[in-house]
Structure 1
Amino acid sequence: MASKVVEYKEKISNVGSSVLRFFFGNRGQNGMMLKAFIYILLIGIGFVYLYPLLYMGSYSLKSLSDILNPLVNWIPTQLYLDNYGRANDVLKFLPTLVQTLYVTVLPAVVQTVVAAVIGYGFARFEFPFKKTLIVFVLATFIIPPQLTMIPRYVFFNELGILGNIQSFLIPASLGQGINSAIFILIFYQFFRMIPKSLEEAAQLDGAGYFRIFFTIAIPMAVPAFIISFLFSFVWYWNETYLAALYFGNSLTTLPLELNKFVATYNQLYAGADGTDSNINEGIRMAGTVLTILPLLIVYFLTQKWFVEGIDRSGITGE
Structure 2
Amino acid sequence: MENRNKRQFDRHYLRARRWFFGMQGTDGFLFKLLVYGLLIGIGFVYLFPLIYMGSYSFKSLDDLLNPLVNWIPTQLYLENYKKANEVLDFVPTLLETLYVTVLPALAQTAIAAVIGYGLARFDFKGKKILFVLVLATFIIPPQVTLIPRYIFFKELNLLGSLNAFILPAASGQGLNSAIFILIFYQFFRMVPKALEEAAQIDGAGHFRIFFTIAIPMAVPAIIISFLFSFVWYWNETYLASIYFGDALTTLPLQLQKFVATYQKMFPAGMNTGINQLNEGIKMAGTVLSILPLLVVYFITQRWFTEGVDRSGITGE
Secondary structure at the residue paired with 1:146? helix
Q: How many residues align?
A: 315
Runs of 4+ displaced beyond 6 Å = none
Counterpart residue type for residue 150 of structure 1: I
How far apart in 1 are the matches of 2:235 and 2:273?
A: 33
The corresponding residue for 1:212 is: 209
Choose 261-270 or 29-38, whichever is displaced more. 29-38
Deviations 1:112-149 (A, max 9, x none): 01000000111111011111111111110000011111
The alignment status of 1:100 with 2:84, answered yes or no, reads no
Secondary structure at the residue paired with 1:178? coil
Counterpart residue type for residue 291 of structure 1: S
The corresponding residue for 2:276 is: 278
The TM-score with structure 2 as length reference comes to: 0.97
Secondary structure at the residue paired with 1:21? helix
Following TM superposition, by how much is the alpha carbon of 1:24 offset from its aligned partner in structure 2, in angstroms?
Answer: 1.1
**Percent identity of equivalent pairs:** 69
Following TM superposition, by how much is the alpha carbon of 1:315 offset from its aligned partner in structure 2, in angstroms?
Answer: 0.5
Choose 286-295 or 274-283, whichever is displaced more. 274-283
Deviations 1:3-42 (A, max 9, x none): x545544433332222221111114761111111111111
How far apart in 1 are the matches of 2:51 and 2:282?
A: 14
The two structures, once aligned, show a CA RMSD in angstroms of: 1.3
Counterpart residue type for residue 303 of structure 1: Q
1:304 equivalent among 294, 302, 305: 302
The corresponding residue for 2:250 is: 253
The corresponding residue for 1:200 is: 197
The corresponding residue for 1:76 is: 73
Is the contact made by 2:268 and 2:274 (CA closer than 8 Å) also made in structure 1? no
The corresponding residue for 1:230 is: 227
The corresponding residue for 1:44 is: 41
The TM-score with structure 1 as length reference comes to: 0.96
The alignment status of 1:317 with 2:315, answered yes or no, reads yes
Following TM superposition, by how much is the alpha carbon of 1:84 offset from its aligned partner in structure 2, in angstroms?
Answer: 0.6
How far apart in 1 are the matches of 2:136 and 2:90?
A: 38
How far apart in 2 are the matches of 1:106 and 1:87?
A: 27
How far apart in 1 are the matches of 2:250 and 2:296?
A: 17
Following TM superposition, by how much is the alpha carbon of 1:317 offset from its aligned partner in structure 2, in angstroms?
Answer: 3.0
Secondary structure at the residue paired with 2:290? helix
The alignment status of 1:61 with 2:61, answered yes or no, reads no
How far apart in 1 are the matches of 2:284 and 2:154?
A: 37
Is the contact made by 2:25 and 2:31 (CA closer than 8 Å) also made in structure 1? no
2:170 equivalent among 162, 169, 173: 173
How far apart in 2 are the matches of 1:28 and 1:39?
A: 15
The alignment status of 1:189 with 2:209, answered yes or no, reads no
The alignment status of 1:146 with 2:140, answered yes or no, reads no
Secondary structure at the residue paired with 2:274? helix
Choose 190-199 or 228-237, whichever is displaced more. 190-199
Is the contact made by 2:268 and 2:276 (CA closer than 8 Å) also made in structure 1? no
1:287 equivalent among 285, 288, 294: 285
The alignment status of 1:239 with 2:236, answered yes or no, reads yes
Q: 1:216 to 1:48 in 2, by over 3 A?
A: same
Q: How does 1:7-26 map to 2 (within 5 A)?
A: 7-26=4-23
How far apart in 2 are the matches of 1:221 and 1:82?
A: 46
Secondary structure at the residue paired with 2:159? coil
Following TM superposition, by how much is the alpha carbon of 1:276 offset from its aligned partner in structure 2, in angstroms?
Answer: 2.1
Counterpart residue type for residue 223 of structure 2: I
Following TM superposition, by how much is the alpha carbon of 1:216 offset from its aligned partner in structure 2, in angstroms?
Answer: 1.1
Counterpart residue type for residue 284 of structure 2: A
Following TM superposition, by how much is the alpha carbon of 1:173 offset from its aligned partner in structure 2, in angstroms?
Answer: 0.3
How far apart in 1 are the matches of 2:133 and 2:254?
A: 35
Unaligned runs of 5+ in 1: none
Secondary structure at the residue paired with 1:87? helix
The corresponding residue for 1:266 is: 263
Counterpart residue type for residue 124 of structure 1: R
Q: 1:151 to 1:285 in 2, by over 3 A?
A: same
Deviations 1:187-217 (A, max 9, x none): 0001111111111111111111111111111
